[in-house]
């Protein structure tokens, strides 16, 4: 497993993309298919890079002066409000930093609607497909936004709470391609033809600031293509850092304006425990974490034994390697989709590798036959490294923040992005 440190302000500095990382598009959990899924609009070659389709905003560190550079949940454009307040109420508020008196011992706060802001944008031309059609036929085309609570801490820094929401918007194929081309045009206007390298807080926004040309153009594109009219799913990761517990859930949205929702069935969990899942771990250092999944996946590809150092220590080397092979397969978008594996396995794959498998048992992804290989024609060498600061706060995000200076860009997200870049650049 490759690891690089967190990119901090020196470089300028979710929800597996869907907070449930794991079937095919025909799975009951796949979400609505786009009737306008294909074919390709034949508008010419798409020359996408990694940071064109997975875009992470840098977090303001100036006491809120540039917080306006992050879109609020209440922001509204051509298709309505990005995340209607009544829909947020219906799916349930994630844990946050606002407490309502009286405050009982052990109580948790909530992330208020007014404090939610977009911290990341992801573009997916064929959601939950292991073998997307080269013409785009039958593909579920999506724009996805990741929201986190942004509150001004006493340090003078706007800090994202550990919880996150991942909101899905359905697009036609023509809209998706137009969106991608528009993002590329923004990037080229700011950086020319330069390769921006691996996923990171977007270099153009880092260079120009959140009120610069790239960020301004990106906000306009989000408001053009995303809103209540085409909102189809909300997934949640609610973090109770007081007891080291992270709960995952999701809802398919049929009528956003009326907040008409159906709880998502999380893949590979028992039917009677399929709509919510929690990961819990011990207090103490990240290395050697003792984590457990409630409920645990019933998939034969189960990395949970490695996520608990006490359990892993009781296993023989072959069994530990088998669990690690499962972990690597979970990170591989040609082996699993967000509809074939549970949320926690997807989010815990990289932390398990870097907190337990590597330092405790010397197991790495190098040479593993289950690992994803990016198409070198479109993804340069060195552009598929993830981001996790193993010395920082515990972090199981996929493409968002556990604190303003602690992003995680998971290997699963990196691999998905590399696959999307290759797909877009070879559309027929």
Exposed, middle or buried, 171 (CB in 10 Å: 0-12/13-18/19+)?
A: buried
Say if 3 falls within a structural domain.
no
Contacts of 129-132 with C-beta under 8 Å, sequence gap 24+, read: 129/24, 129/25, 129/337, 130/24, 130/333, 130/334, 130/335, 130/337, 132/423
Query: In Å, how far from its chain's centre is CA 209?
Result: 23
At 204, list the tokens: 């153009």
CA neighbours closer than 13 Å in the CB half-sphere of residue 342 = 29
Question: Total structural domains in the chain?
Answer: 1
> Beta-carbon neighbour count of residue 79 at 10 Å?
17
Report the DSSP beta bridge partners of residue 137: none
Say if 320 falls within a structural domain.
yes
The per-residue DSSP string of 267-302 comes to TTS-GGG-SEEEEEE-SS-STT-BEEEESPP-SS--
Say if 233 falls within a structural domain.
yes
- Our CA dihedral for 335, 329, 180, 257, rounded to 10 degrees, sits at 80
pLDDT of residue 403: 82
**Residue burial 303-329, b: 16+ Cβ < 10 Å; e: rest:** bbbbbbbebbeeeeeeebbbbbbbbbb
Say if 1 falls within a structural domain.
no
Contacts of 66 (CB under 8 A, 6+ apart): 60, 209, 210, 211
pLDDT of residue 351: 98
Say if 115 falls within a structural domain.
yes
Q: pLDDT (tens digit, 9 = 90+) per residue, 278-293?
A: 999 999 999 999 999 9
pLDDT of residue 21: 41
Report the DSSP beta bridge partners of residue 235: 166, 250
* Averaged pLDDT, groups of 10, the chain, 428 residues long: 32 39 32 39 78 94 64 96 96 91 77 95 96 92 96 66 96 97 98 95 95 96 97 97 94 88 92 86 95 95 97 98 98 95 96 98 96 96 94 94 89 98 93
Cα-based distances in Å from 133 to 26, 125, 181, 218, 271: 14, 10, 20, 28, 31
Q: pLDDT (tens digit, 9 = 90+) per residue, 28-77?
A: 233 333 333 444 555 568 899 999 999 999 987 665 544 668 999 999 99
Say if 214 falls within a structural domain.
yes
Q: Tell me the whole-structure pTM to 2 decimals.
A: 0.89
pLDDT of residue 15: 44
Q: How many residues does the chain have?
A: 428
**What is the domain extent for residue 187?**
9-425
Say if 109 falls within a structural domain.
yes
Say if 21 falls within a structural domain.
yes
| Helix or strand holding residue 408 (H, E) | strand 407-409
User: Distance (Å, rounded) from C-alpha 348 to C-alpha 139?
Assistant: 28
At 334, list the tokens: 């040609």
Please tell me whether residue 236 adopts helix, strand or coil conformation.
Answer: strand
- Our CA dihedral for 407, 31, 236, 215, rounded to 10 degrees, sits at 40
């Amino acid at each position: 497993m490759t690891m690089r440190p967190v990119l901090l302000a020196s470089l300028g500095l979710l929800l597996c993309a869907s907070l449930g990382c794991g079937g095919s598009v025909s799975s009951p959990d796949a979400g609505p298919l786009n009737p306008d899924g294909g074919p390709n609009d034949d508008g010419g070659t798409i020359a996408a890079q990694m940071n064109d389709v997975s875009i992470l905003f840098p977090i303001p560190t100036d006491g809120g002066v540039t917080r306006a550079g992050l879109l609020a949940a209440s922001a509204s454009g051509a298709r309505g409000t990005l995340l209607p307040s009544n829909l947020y109420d219906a799916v349930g508020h994630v844990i946050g930093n606002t407490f309502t008196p009286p405050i009982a011992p052990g109580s948790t706060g909530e992330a208020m609607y007014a404090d939610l802001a977009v911290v990341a944008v992801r573009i997916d031309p064929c959601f939950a497909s292991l073998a997307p059609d080269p013409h785009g036929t039958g593909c579920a085309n999506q724009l996805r936004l990741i929201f986190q609570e942004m509150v001004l801490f006493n340090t003078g820094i706007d800090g994202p709470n550990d919880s996150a929401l991942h909101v899905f918007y359905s697009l036609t194929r023509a809209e998706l391609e137009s969106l991608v081309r528009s993002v590329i045009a923004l990037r080229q206007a700011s950086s020319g033809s330069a390769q921006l390298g691996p996923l990171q807080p977007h270099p153009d926004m880092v260079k120009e600031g959140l009120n610069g040309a790239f960020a301004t153009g990106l906000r306009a594109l989000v408001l053009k293509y995303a809103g209540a009219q085409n909102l189809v799913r909300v997934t949640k990761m609610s973090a109770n850092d007081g007891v080291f517990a992270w709960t995952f859930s999701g809802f398919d949205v049929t009528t956003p304006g009326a907040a008409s929702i159906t709880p998502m069935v999380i893949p590979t969990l028992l039917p009677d425990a399929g709509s919510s899942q929690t990961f819990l771990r011990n207090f103490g250092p990240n290395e050697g974490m003792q984590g457990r999944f409630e409920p645990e996946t019933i998939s034969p590809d189960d990395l949970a034994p490695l996520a608990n150092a006490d359990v892993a220590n009781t296993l023989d080397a072959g069994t530990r390697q088998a669990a690690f092979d499962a972990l690597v397969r979970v990170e591989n978008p040609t082996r699993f989709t967000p509809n074939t594996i549970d949320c926690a396995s997807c989010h815990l794959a990289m932390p398990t590798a870097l907190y337990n498998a590597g330092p405790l048992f010397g197991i790495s992804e190098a040479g593993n036959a289950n690992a994803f290989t990016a198409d070198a024609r479109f993804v340069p060498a060195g552009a598929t490294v993830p981001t996790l600061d193993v010395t920082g706060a515990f972090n199981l995000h996929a493409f968002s923040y556990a604190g303003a200076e602690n992003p995680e860009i998971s290997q699963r997200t990196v691999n998905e992005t590399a696959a999307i870049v290759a797909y877009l650049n070879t559309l027929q």
